[in-house]
A and B are shown apart, each in its own frame.
Chain A
Amino acid sequence: MLNDLLLDDRPEPVPARADPAPSPEELRHECVARAGLCRLLAGAFVEEPSLEFLATLRSPATLAALAEAGVRFGDDFLVPDADALVEALACEFTTMFVASGGFPPVESVRLTGRYHQAPHFDLKELYRRAGFVVRKGRFQVLEDHLGVELLFVAELLDRSVMALDRGDMAGYRAIDRDIRRFWTLHLARWVRGYCRLVQRASEHSFYREMARFLAAFAEEELVAMRLRVDDLDQGREVVPKSEVQVAFNPDEPVCNACGPGDRPAMPPGAIPIAVQPGTR
């Protein structure tokens, strides 16, 4: 939130850093982890959580892993029997993301206020060029749906892994560029602000926590990818400039000089993401 504003206020692009290159194995490990997180988060938002998805999420191991990342669901998620939880989340999902008066997790809607605008068609074309088509799950979702965008990133990360596995570093770098471009042109432009809206509006801890998790993941990804992108979603909290407290010297480049383990301090309340240390 505050960090967003500060990031938004910085005019110059971040110069490329000169880190020591991580090993292919380290890169592979990180790609796998990031793809998994994208899929996990897509699973929360792309459609109503299924019994199986929730069962996995509520397993002690997963809850422990998520807790390590600061994700702590409330009793409304942990206590009800499985069927009741599926039903409750389906209703909450519909109220927030489907029914009239809600706020669909769709990029066109978030950035233009209308379905089927430029992001939708840009993404459809992008998926086509990348060899993907959006197929129907339980429901037919739009191409610029949050869940689909996250799944696309996951697919690209899978391709990165494949490139690394065959020793194709040039291919890996090309896919990495595509991922950065995708975040820059799409997810990063709306997902953080949107997650704040979900956190404010949801009456269920599952969506509040998953939105908080997603926002933090997005922040972390952007920092890790050395991207500085304004979040244009109107769900971002508006903080008057007079209330903005500068926690560091804004003239000092944030990322270009920092090496492994030398990242800028997390803003208060931010969630650390469980990625392997020292891989960047």
Chain B
Amino acid sequence: MSDTKFTRRTFLKVSAGTTAAAAAAPRLLQAMENELGGKDVNPVTLAERKAIPINCHVCNIQDGAIAFVENGRVVKLEGNPEHVSTRGRLCAKGNSGMWYSYDPDRILYPLKRVGARGEGKWKRITWDEALAEVAKKLDAALKEDPNTIMMKYGRNRTGGTLDRFMKTLGSATVVNHTSVCESSKKIGMEPTWGPDIETPDFANTKYVLNIGSNILEAAYFHNPLSQRITEGRVDNQMKIVTFDVRLSNTAGFSDEWIPVFPGTDGAVALALGHVILREDLQDSEFINTWTNVTVDELKAHYKDFTPEWAAKISGVPAATIERIAREFALAKPATLFTYRGPAKHLYGSYNEKACMMLPIMTGNIETRGGYCLPRGMGWPQPGPTPPGAKHASYLSTPPDYPLAGHKVSHLVPFWIAEGKQKINVYFTYQDNAVYTNPGAQAVWGKLFRDEKLLPYIVSMSSHMGEETALADIILPDCPYLERWEPESMPNSLWPWLGIRQPVHASLGESRENRILLRDLVHKLDPDGKRGMKQYWNFKDAEDYMRQHFDNVPGLKEAGGLDFLKKHGVWPIYGKLDPKTGKVTDKTGREIKAEYGLHKKELGTADMAGAVVDKSGVISKNGKAIGIKRNGRNYAGFPTGNRLINVRVDEWAQYGFNPMPTFKRIPWHETMKEDEMILTTFKLNVHKQSRTAAVKWLAEIAHSNPAWINAQTAKRLGVKTGDLVRVESKVGHLVTKAYVTEGIQPKVIAIATAFGHWEYGRLASLRLKDKPAFGGQEDPDLNNVWWDDKGVHPNAIIPVVADPIGGSQGWMDTVVKVTRAGPNDKYGDIQGNWEKHVEAYKETMRYAYTGDMHRKMHPEMASWAGPASVKPKSGGGGH
């Protein structure tokens, strides 16, 4: 017998001493999903299932996916291993996407309202009847003014179809949803360096500053960036520091979670910059070469943004700011990522700008492991293209927000109510403002119910969302697995083009958007005499896609649309290595990304006929195409002067500080001791509005108790599960508490995507209310074991508009939280229209035309006021 003594200590010792041998031992097991990626078989018959590549569209990351089809139906969705960004992986949402198509609450036929708006009484009508009715309304509206026809869209990935339709009609009243999404992030970035988003090279970095993003669960670009951030952590031992009000799963994954008072991320970022500049840790060469300011200017500007100043505002200790600043500046390469945390505030654009200054001043721009420009690809529009509107729309380009290039959609109800612009016909597409916007049912619900303000509402939707339920007519759109769409998303360092293609015929009589709009135009202009039909001459949706893709250089040679139909994406950069999960070249090495896009040198052909001005800007045909630096002609950055504009002169024209700055939210400064800030967040299995009806996802997450810090809860006398009343200046709600250490003590956080009152029986749990009417008799719904659908907070969130970026200040709401009283019951929600109107008027005071603008900008005392600015039409798009 052996006399070896195996104790735990012995085990650990042996293990430590045999690491190399263990590493050399053969590894016979590996992740099956990668090995089998791209193929699937029926588990009983072993027959291979038909694989149709698509781009996912449950949310907006646009993951490469494959729909496995058996006997005509989708039985499984999986990642497309040929897709360079998502590399064969698909998130829980993407795996569940087929339940949009097969949802028994899906709308399959045109429906016409027969009761009062919202009463739920409908009559099925034929497409011919529906199109004739809508065409008649359009005809009348066109005679009055094309701009009285409004299109508001949410997730629009039609590739230009909606725009084509509105231009065909000659209406400029096109409003998106971006102001409730991330518009101030975009406006913080666009005038500075061109694009509206960054691509952090997480996989190759040494240090990540993650400010207000929950990238492992949500945000752009959840799936591809989650993969890279994990690689960076595992393969590159990077450090990640997360500033967030809440201990999200990303914060939990980080080396450090630093809770920060809402809306003060910008102050922390400026203080980090202050330390970097004070200690001369900046990349002077980069600043002097590639920005429109000098190091000295920057140092002078940052002088007052001290860590002590930021600490008082944000609650982040000055010593922590000092340390993080040094770590970030000295760890090369380092990168930064932000999302809603900094941007969704009154001055979100300033916050975003302050954050992006950190990689700029440290020269981590367009470097391996750094903060890179997004890589995307475009495609041509089928010709001929319509000319567009003859005059601007107030709602689309509100004059009080000239810099808000992504519009200010959440103020639209108030502007319509004030009579700023008349609307005769309102189209809604993939939008649900009655649920998703601030004020929700109290604001948008009121607008939608008012037939004087919105005489005719057309919803193009596959599902009965809160907004569609208030429509006059519903034109059934197809869910994403049944439609054609062009796609490209800058969700990794490798650009790509992709498609969505129908994996089977659309169910019932649903029609994809471009087809139903074509049919509508043909109804309006049957003989082409009105000049509309010429823009809608395509045989079918596939024909339209061919016009997009068959002449894209490179793709054309590969086969154009036929290539995309087969692979879903182009180009195919390499092969997915099942062992590493990375895309590799023929030698087995990971394909290399291209860095330094701004340093691409212009060729002789580019320079032919170009002129170089004294600042080095290279122009051709009146457009800046590059920048001359150190004797070389570079492409530079995609801005008007090909530089990074640390100083945005256009902002100064409207009395805004053109340099990186921070503005504290005035009503946060005057908060009482017992007041808190309400913030919202997303879980990994839901998006804002459209996933609550998806069976698998609803089962995983269906309720949203409010996160409250343990200290705060103790003060309130509240424990997990207790009811709390949350009261803002525009309303109140009653929900359950979730007591945790993982949240800033002055914050209460409620997840969105819950508490639906429409969107089908699963989302609204109406099956529990009316068992006699079909609900419980559905075999799937009969399995619904939960009876808590959550509470939707938006009705008590007042509008706040960033006067620069136009973004909604989702995280600015001051609330009073108390234990629920005897008359409060779970799910109570009350929002008051009049109080929301007051909030609207209050936020307008911060616009450049408002009285608070000057007070908030004493440093811009020399600005000559709103009258000094030439009115700008067409918004502030960059």
Could you tell me which A residues sit within 8 Å of B by CB distance?
48, 87, 90-91, 93-96, 98-104, 106, 108-118, 120-121, 124, 138-140, 142, 193, 197, 200-201, 233-235
Contact = CB atoms under 8 A, between A and B. Distances in A.
Contact of A139 (B73, B509, B774, B777): B509
Given A102-B774, A140-B509, A234 B782 contact: yes
A114 B124 contact: no
Nearest to A103: B774
Contacts of B774: 96, 101-103, 197, 201
B114 interface: yes
A117 B780 CA distance: 13
A113 B103 CA distance: 8
A98 B124 contact: yes
B124 A116 contact: no
A193 B124 CA distance: 25
Contacts of B93: none
A139 B126 contact: yes
B73 A113 contact: no
Contact of B104 (A94, A95, A115, A200): A115
Interface stretch (B105-113, B174-182, B492-500, B724-732): B105-113
B763 to A, nearest CB: 10
B482 to A, nearest CB: 11
A62 B577 CA distance: 72
- The listed residue with most A CB atoms (<10 A of its CB), out of B71, B111, B509, B761, is B71
Contact of B464 (A99, A124, A233): A99
Nearest to A138: B126
Given A91-B123, A101-B766, A121 B107 contact: no
Contacts of B107: 99-100
B781 interface: yes
Contacts of A117: 73, 102
A38 to B, nearest CB: 23
B72 A116 contact: yes
15 contacts: A48-B124, A91-B114, A91-B123, A95-B121, A101-B760, A103-B774, A104-B104, A110-B779, A113-B781, A115-B106, A118-B71, A139-B109, A139-B124, A197-B777, A234-B777
Contacts of A193: 777
Nearest to B761: A101
Contacts, number: 116
Given A103-B774, A113-B781, A94 B508 contact: no
A99 B106 contact: no
A114 B766 CA distance: 17
A13 to B, nearest CB: 25
A200 B772 contact: yes
Nearest to A87: B123
A197 to B, nearest CB: 5
Nearest to A99: B122
Contacts of A201: 772-774
A208 to B, nearest CB: 13
B101 A115 contact: yes
A99 B778 CA distance: 15
B99 interface: yes
Interface in B84-120: 99, 101-109, 111, 114, 120
A113 B104 contact: yes
A115 B103 contact: yes
B776 interface: yes
A274 B131 CA distance: 44
A95 B36 CA distance: 45
Given A94-B123, A121-B71, A124-B72, A234 B106 contact: no
Contacts of B464: 99-101
Contacts of A138: 126
Contact of A109 (B104, B121, B124): B104
A201 B767 CA distance: 13
A210 B779 CA distance: 24
Interface of B: 71-73, 99, 101-109, 111, 114, 120-124, 126, 463-464, 504, 507-509, 760-761, 766, 772-782
Contacts of B504: 116
A93 B122 CA distance: 9
B507 A115 contact: yes
A1 to B, nearest CB: 14
B777 A103 contact: yes
A111 B123 CA distance: 26
Contact of A101 (B71, B120, B508): B120
B123 A121 contact: no
A5 B780 CA distance: 22
What 10 A-B pairs are tightest by C-beta distance, nearest first? Answer: A113-B780, A103-B774, A100-B464, A114-B102, A234-B777, A235-B777, A100-B105, A121-B71, A109-B104, A113-B779
B779 A111 contact: yes
Given A102-B774, A142-B507, A114 B103 contact: yes
A109 B99 CA distance: 12
A90 B777 contact: no
Contact of B508 (A99, A110, A112, A140): A140
B194 to A, nearest CB: 43
A91 B114 CA distance: 8
Given A101-B774, A233-B777, A114 B99 contact: yes
Contact of A94 (B103, B122, B772): B122
B508 A95 contact: no
A90 B124 contact: yes
A109 B779 CA distance: 8
A117 B504 CA distance: 13
Contacts of B121: 91, 95
A234 B772 CA distance: 12
Nearest to B783: A113
A234 B782 CA distance: 8
Contacts of B114: 91
A114 B72 contact: no
Contacts of B773: 101-103, 201
Given A114-B104, A115-B101, A94 B126 contact: no
Contacts of B122: 91, 94-95, 98-99
Contacts of B103: 114-115
A121 B73 contact: yes
A100 B758 CA distance: 9
A130 B763 CA distance: 40
A239 B464 CA distance: 34
Contacts of A111: 779
Contact of A100 (B101, B106, B124): B106
A94 B124 contact: yes
Contacts of A113: 104, 778-782
Contacts of A140: 508-509
B73 A101 contact: no
B421 to A, nearest CB: 31
Contacts of B509: 139-140
A118 B73 CA distance: 9
Contact of B463 (A100, A104, A109): A100
Contacts of B463: 100
Given A101-B761, A235-B777, A94 B507 contact: no
Contacts of A106: 104
Q: Which of B106, B111, B772, B773 has the most A CB atoms < 10 Å from its CB?
A: B773
A192 to B, nearest CB: 13
Given A101-B464, A101-B760, A121 B104 contact: no
Residue of B108, B504, B777 ringed by the most chain A CB atoms within 10 A: B777
Contacts of A90: 123-124
Contacts of A233: 777
Q: Which of B107, B114, B504, B782 has the most CB of A within 10 A?
A: B114
A42 to B, nearest CB: 17
Given A201-B772, A201-B774, A112 B73 contact: no
Contacts of A200: 772
A121 B72 contact: yes
A251 B423 CA distance: 72
A120 B782 CA distance: 21
A193 to B, nearest CB: 8
Nearest to A98: B124
